[in-house]
Structure 1
Amino acid sequence: MRRVPVPVGRRWIACLAVLTFALAACSSEGADETPTEGAAGTTEPSDEDGPDGTDSVSDDNQSVRFLMAENFWADWTPYSSTALSQKRLERQIYDYLVEFPSGDLSQPEPSLATEWTQIDDTVWEFSLRDDVVFHDGQPLTAADVKASVELASGFSGESAYALTWAPAEAEVVDDHTVRISTEEPFAPMLAELWWTPIVSAQWLEGDADQLASSPNGTGPFRLTEDATNIKTMAPNEDYWRDPPVIDTLVWEYVQDPQTRLNALLSGEAHAIDRVPPEHLETIEAEDGVELTSVTGIESVNLFVREGRLPIWDESADFRRAVNQAFDRGPLVDNLVMGASSLAGSFLPTNSLFYEEQSPPFAADPEGARAALEAAGAPDGGPEFEIWVAEGFLPRAVPVVEAIAAQMAEVGLKPTVITSDVAGLIDDAFGENGTGAMYHLSWATAGDPNQAAAVYSSAFAWYFGDEELDALVAEGRTTLDPEERAAVYSELQSHMWAQAWHVPLYNSDFTVGHVSELEGVLVQPNGFRTDFYQASLGG
């Protein structure tokens, strides 16, 4: 195994149950960072540091410190990345046209939009609230929705969100009515609007540096301090709903799972995410702390880069050999554990229209050796690298090491490369990358278009499979639910048969937390973690 030190760089991880949990009140501390100027309507950052040189969270009864396993590599430029950490932050600061509070995509509820009508197959009309203001005091109008949707969908500019959107043009009917049109039917319209923050048109058209450093939303929290690894928020007292009870909300990136656990048990943090299985028993045995686990709508695969391992691109037999070389069951049962589940499709288990595929990929060493023979590689074929990131997905390194060891037993020649997530992403998508396979996840809100699009010609995991590309497009544009289900049934069967990537499991998403803060909303949809309705008890 080779270990690679890497600089901070880009990151690619983006994601139907709803849970609330309780967290405990105590003072908390941040990391040694120099904060930048706060966002619209914010106060100046404090110079007071904690005893270890970190920014202190105030000692009142409504301060919460949440430690994340994913770094904050993206800036605040709207729609510029698929970083899951950024999307989770944005849900505290921005609002959305519609909400799905239960996580069930058949049950949309009003948010910034009070009502909506699908006028025809390609046109939707939304009526907006008239009592909403941005953090800088600007009133929300249809012009803001127009600018936001057109940019996010890729209609008016470059957008990372365009991967799962369709180009959408918006018409301002009046100050509080907007029509959104697409050239073709767009089945996941409401699901996409649920994860598309509405941004001020004035800010989108203004200074790019301000846009990148100062989020100006209409949501329940506003950013007050912005350091590299710490994002500090305060309530939006002018929120159109009741303002939050929490006085100070700190999201902090801490890569090391043991450090996150120590902070939780010592009372320095109120909640931690991505708890690895080796910490579950410790937390369960501790008074005053609890676990909340869900199966995330997130596929964990060995994603393969086209062109990096030519025999993979050319030989279905070689792909079959790799998929038969190792046993997935013990990875889930003995390593990842928690609420993780075996991948039965290339769509996550809790997606709409999910169908478990048959036969499953099962360990068959003799079958793998025969497949290598059929692929013209009786010696196991060329050497190749499998990259894995430390500190993010639970037990990632042991999982990949176990896979590689079993691959080697049938003659395959993998080398495991460990890195941080940013370095792995840089290698996967950089021109000079050396890896062939990458232990990564792709999280969605539950609509199958969001999961399937990453395998299409719109993204780097595409292998020139025109039939797959056509099915992805058909699923996106088919409106009738039964017909759409049939398309995704065919798509899943096709993907399973071709196996352009190596499916592993659906993520466990376990949050450890103290027991007294009520009302935190955790959804597997995009690993949503919202603190708007949270309050410290006792």
Structure 2
Amino acid sequence: MKRISFRAVAAAIAALASALAGHAAATAQELRVGVRAALDTADPASSYSPNRNITLQIYEPLLLQDASLKPVAGLAVAWRMRDPTTWEFTLREGVKFHDGSPLTPEDVAATIARNMATEVPQTYKSDIREIVSVEAEGPRTVILRTRAPSPQLPFGIATFGIVSARATRDATPEDFRGKAAIGTGPYRWSEWTPGQGVTLTRNPDYWGAKPHWDKVQFRFVPNDSARVASLLAGDLDVIDAVPPGLTQRIEASSNAHLLSTTAIMMLYLQLEMGRAQSPYVTDADGKPLPKNPFQDIRVRHALSYAINRAGIADRAMEGAAEPAGQFMAPGLDNHDPALKPLPYDPAKARALLAEAGYPKGFNITLACSNDRYPGDARVCQALGQMLGAVGIKTQVETVPISILFRRRSAGPNGLPDVPAFMLGYGAPNGLATSALTSLVQTQDRDRGRGGNNYTGYSNPKLDAMIESAMVEPDEAKRAALVREATHVAIGDTPVVPVYFTKAIWGLRRDLTLTPRADSFTFVDTIRPAK
């Protein structure tokens, strides 16, 4: 009889256990995603990017956005403009909500009405402001009528998810943590622990390709080093917003890798120019100036010349950014390759300041976030030094993004309580007209204009150019109008583009994903690497 050694049996059992463990890990289909910015409401009417990153995986738009934010078929399989003020959308057949009820035109109408009426801080109102009615023609046809020609409406329709009319009737934002959390997406809402994370579960009845993951945990990890360390330790499978200073740690790892793309997010300075005299700008001796220097275009140009954008992109951002001289990044709608950033020229900046009557410069405060964009606090310090070098002595204040959002309208007449601040903007629909409307058009809340224009800047000629571009049905003519309006806005310089961010993800070595210009981490694109 052949004798079997105890040592051989033990080795065989260990090998089998290891194989079974590996098989279990491979088939568990649980994904752990670390994100920098936390969800602040579960309400899908919020257009705040960290919220959309999660809610759009539960509630799907009529039209989806591809990786470069172009509209593609989603809950609607076809769409056409019947006439300049009428759009027709054909719903996909057989789509069901998570509770088993069918998708109908009434759900589309209820979603649009709710988005128009919502009081959440950041909304989709600018994307649907021209819609005056939603009508049903049979069970699968939705008719949207607009008050003016809206040739770009499909881009706006692709930004927000459709909710169930039945489940959301009289729903409050809190109800989207429970009874109202009914979408059509590949994943279902499961649990939200504020400040910690969100859990989603697979929708087994999804109309499209079956979701790969049974369970997805979004963990909020605002500390960059902690997020990277968790990926390298195997506690997270995917992380977003990898900061430039930590990319080498991932590149040097044997169990993780990086993926990146140029993103829609533009970091920019806004200069308060709405007051004839600013209490927040003082002379070299600390005394209030008799007039607001930022109302002088020479001063605004001087500030732009003082910024070494290439230095910020290469050093402060360690290559994870691209210098910006306009509102749209390369590859996006109406990016103009001919529109370059102003060159770094401190001598010209000082000459312009002297010409404007400020040979000794003046003192300002520059406020920036320290928890929203990769490298934001570090870039802010660099900007302060650059401005100081030409005579604009700058006190830098970095604060949480929630505080910065409040400060941009905390001064008299709803203007900022600081003369300059840095924020990021990326048009959710990927349209240059949206960037123009939001950042530089005269602020008019009722009409959805100037939503992010906190400068006090108003140029009626530019407003008219933007309005013309928005209603022009011919794509080539519209592009020419957008290009002209962009050149005027950049020339006036109420907003100073600094750089476009790069969206960078860290992933477990055996995973891949589709990088998106909006920086969203859509888990239905995360798959085992081939």
**What is the TM-score with the length of structure 2 in the denominator?**
0.84
CA pair 537-401 structure 1, distance change in 2 beyond 3 A: closer
SS of 2:37's equivalent in the other structure is coil
Query: CA distance change for structure 1 residues 424 and 59 in 2, over 3 Å: closer, same or farther?
Result: farther
8 Å CA contact 2:265, 2:500 repeated in 1: yes
479-488 or 416-425, larger mean C-alpha shift: 416-425
1:398 matched residue in structure 2: 378
Amino acid at match of 2:105: A
Aligned residue number for residue 470 of structure 1: 464
1:208 and 2:202 correspond: no
**Equivalent residue number for residue 521 of structure 2:** 529
- What does residue range 291-440 of structure 1 map to in structure 2 within 5 Å? 291-305=258-272, 306-307=274-275, 311-356=292-337, 358=339, 360-381=341-362, 383-431=363-411, 434-440=417-423
2:183 — aligned with what? Answer: 217
1:445-524 superposed matches below 5 A: 445-455=429-439, 456=441, 457=443, 458=449, 459-461=451-453, 463-518=457-512, 520-524=513-517
Match of 1:249 in 2: 216
Instruction: Give the secondary-structure state (helix, strand or coil) at the position aligned to 1:521.
Output: coil
Q: 1:533 to 1:489 in 2, by over 3 A?
A: closer
Which structure is larger by alpha-carbon Rg, 1 or 2? 2
The Cα offsets for residues 36-61 of structure 1, whole Å up to 9 and x where unpaired, read as xxxxxxxxxxxxxxxxxxxxxx9963
SS at match of 1:93: coil
Give the superposition deviation at 1:535: 4.0
CA contact (8 A) 2:490 2:496 kept: no
Residues of 2 paired with 1:535 and 1:407: CA distance? 46
Amino acid aligned to 2:421: Y
Shift of 1:358: 4.9
Corresponding position: 1:91 with 2:56: yes
Structure 2 gap segments, 5+ residues each: 1-20, 282-290, 444-448
Q: Distance in 1 between matches of 2:199 and 2:91?
A: 29
Task: State the alpha-carbon separation in 2 of the partners of residues 442 and 408 from structure 1.
Answer: 25
Amino acid at match of 1:144: D
Equivalent position amino acid for 1:446 in 2: G
Residues 160 and 494 of structure 1: is their aligned pair in 2 closer, same or farther, counting only changes over 3 Å? same
In structure 2, what is the Cα distance between the partners aligned to 1:59 and 1:511? 22
Q: Which amino acid aligns with 2:232?
A: L
Equivalences, count: 474
- Structure 1 runs, 4 residues or longer, greater than 6 Å off: none
Is contact 2:327–2:432 with CA below 8 Å preserved after alignment?
Answer: no
User: Per-residue deviation at 1:365?
Assistant: 1.9
Q: Which runs of 5+ in 1 are unaligned?
A: 1-25, 28-57
**Are the aligned partners of 1:261 and 1:272 in contact in 2 as well (CA < 8 Å)?**
yes
More helix by share: 2
**Contact 1:331–1:399 (CA<8 Å) still a contact in 2?**
yes
* C-alpha contact (below 8 Å) 2:56/2:160 kept by paired residues: no
**What secondary structure does 1:378 align onto?**
coil
1:352 shift after superposition: 1.3
Label 1:419 to 1:511 Cα distance change in 2 as closer, same or farther (>3 A). Answer: same
**Identical-residue share of aligned pairs (%):** 25
Superposed displacement of residue 360, structure 1: 3.2
Task: Give the Cα–Cα distance (whole angstroms) in 2 for the partners of residues 115 and 97 of structure 1.
Answer: 10
Cα RMSD, aligned residues only: 2.4
- Where in structure 2 are the equivalents of 1:251-266 lying within 5 Å? 251-266=218-233
**Are 1:245 and 1:533, in contact at CA under 8 Å, matched by a contact in 2?**
no
